[in-house]
Structure 1
Amino acid sequence: MNETTPRQTAAKALSLLDLTDLTENCDEAAIERLCRQAATRHGHTAAICIWPRFVKQARALLGENSPIRIATVVNFPSGDLPVDDVVAETRQAIADGADEIDLVIPYRALMAGDEAAVRQMIRAVREVCAPPVLLKTILETGELKNPDLVRNASHLAIASGADFIKTSTGKVAVNATLEAADIMLNAIRESGRKVGFKPAGGVRTVGDAALHLRLAATIHGPDWAIPSTFRFGASGLLGDILAVLDGRGSGGSSAAY
């Protein structure tokens, strides 16, 4: 990534973006806007990520054969729902047209030492996510805090059948960090499995995206980050991507390119 220009990074980030609206006041008009925004003049995002109640509407708007995938969240954001409820929520979301399920693991149970709860939840949801539906597992790394816990959660999720491991819900004080990304990307490498990585929450600029892509390239190689292995979960990143691609410069960067 060292020789990559901001414009090249922006174009790559666009193709890897899960354009997200998980705000409490999200409504049908917001979903219409999100679906329009996901198809930009420079290309489309990888997916939109929305509440389950809007999946059916989004599917009708995008159509059955859209290249823009529909991701939704389950056991979100608490991670505390009963397994049967989460499985039912997942089944309904898939029936409504979801392509991808972003599942919050029972991270508080893990913090209390209950690894079995994590395995049980992921395996139960995995069972109803038949290919080509993707299962992304949200570890809530900012709450886990301890690097050993983040590493353990990553390996548990991968071993239990996750297609992706994702940092955060975006609903807590600390979300995606490079420290968590480093641990999670190395856990994927150590597993020897084809599992993707999704930093979510706090990736706001092309500069932020560049740092995560550079880290992924260092650990996995320069060509590793593609939509099947890497996503950004963000609501505000698209504006900065478009500013860079339009030649207007970054709309503000919390990190250098």
Structure 2
Amino acid sequence: MIDKNTSDLLAKASLATASPALAKRAIPLVDLTSLSGSETEAEIAALCTRALEHGVAAVCIYPAFLPQARPLLQGSAVRLAAVANFPDGSDDIARAADEAAAAVADGADEVDVVAPVQAIMEGDVGIVGELVEAVRLAAGPQTTLKLILETGILADPDRITAAARAAVMAGVDFLKTSTGKVPVGATPEAAAVMMRVCEEAGLRVGFKASGGIRTADDAARYLHLGDALLGAERISARTFRFGASSLLDDLVRVAAGGASSGTASGY
């Protein structure tokens, strides 16, 4: 259940709009993402070039493109992320761990792994901790591990909270809202629930909004929540990310003094 204080905060966040200063603040928090499944090598090269040009937090791609992307980003501050157990969220923990290990071997600094969604829906929250522990062991302690909870499917705030807490206890680094492959991606309501868990954890666990984050105004609403729940002074790429493909274009436009388009599409 969303309490009244959170409801009031969500109402205020819904009114937030982007300014050039906010857009400039958000750009370094972006995980520039390409997960359409139909990418070409030329498109991956262009993605990495854009990431370097604008100084985003990371590039997030399918594991098959890691050998190409790694040398393109080598020596920069832009991190390289790959997905695992994606997008289905299988309960095959061994497969997820193997995918994570292979991604790290191919140069991934970060792994975004999907939680076993159907198992959680059936009441098996414990499997979240099992997955995180197995993937952590396979990927190694230096790899940033983000767990995708697919909150649009989990839906219930108590269920999201239970799954998020299980992940935190197992040693996850980030809680992430969505794969972007289901009808309901990130929502401010789910984000607030997850940020509360991050707050409980003393912000040793970060938050990543993904799935339908398309415009600078969208980013403004999530940053408004982050500032209120986590503290503006504590938000950085180490604690707060946006996973998106089209968001960066809008942020760059607004940072330069333009208006948020409100019409972008993508992850």
Q: How many residues align?
A: 251
Identity in percent = 45
Report SS of the residue matched to 2:232. coil
Asked if 2 retains the 8 angstrom alpha-carbon contact of 1:216 and 1:224, the reply is: no
Report the AA paired with residue 38 of structure 2. Answer: N
In the other structure, the counterpart of 1:73 is: 83
In the other structure, the counterpart of 1:157 is: 167
Unpaired segments ≥5 residues, structure 2: 1-12
Asked if 1 retains the 8 angstrom alpha-carbon contact of 2:31 and 2:242, the reply is: yes
Higher helix share: 2
Structure 1 consecutive aligned stretches of length 4 or more whose deviation exceeds 3 Å: 1-5
In the other structure, the counterpart of 2:242 is: 232
Distance 1:187 1:3, change over 3 A: closer
In the other structure, the counterpart of 1:29 is: 42
Is 1:145 the counterpart of 2:155 in the alignment? yes
Question: Among residues 51, 56, 80, which one is paired with 2:62 in the alignment?
Answer: 51
Distance 1:3 1:121, change over 3 A: closer
Distance 1:81 1:3, change over 3 A: closer
Following the alignment from structure 2 to structure 1, what is the Cα–Cα distance between the partners of residues 214 and 228? 22
Report the AA paired with residue 70 of structure 2. Answer: R
Following the alignment from structure 2 to structure 1, what is the Cα–Cα distance between the partners of residues 68 and 242? 23
In the other structure, the counterpart of 2:200 is: 190
Following the alignment from structure 1 to structure 2, what is the Cα–Cα distance between the partners of residues 51 and 229? 23
Asked if 1 retains the 8 angstrom alpha-carbon contact of 2:203 and 2:230, the reply is: no
In the other structure, the counterpart of 1:19 is: 32
In the other structure, the counterpart of 2:176 is: 166
Query: TM-score if structure 2 supplies the norm length?
Result: 0.89
Q: Which deviates further from its counterpart, 1-10 or 185-194?
A: 1-10
Unpaired segments ≥5 residues, structure 1: none
Following the alignment from structure 2 to structure 1, what is the Cα–Cα distance between the partners of residues 91 and 39? 22
Following the alignment from structure 1 to structure 2, what is the Cα–Cα distance between the partners of residues 3 and 174? 21
In the other structure, the counterpart of 1:204 is: 214
Report the RMSD for the aligned CA atoms in angstroms. 1.9
Distance 1:81 1:54, change over 3 A: farther
Following the alignment from structure 2 to structure 1, what is the Cα–Cα distance between the partners of residues 17 and 94? 46
Report the AA paired with residue 56 of structure 1. Answer: P
Query: TM-score if structure 1 supplies the norm length?
Result: 0.93
Spell out, residue by residue over 1:66-102, the C-alpha distance to the aligned partner (whole angstroms, 9 max, x if none): 2110011000000115222211111111011100000
User: Shift of residue 30 of structure 1?
Assistant: 1.2
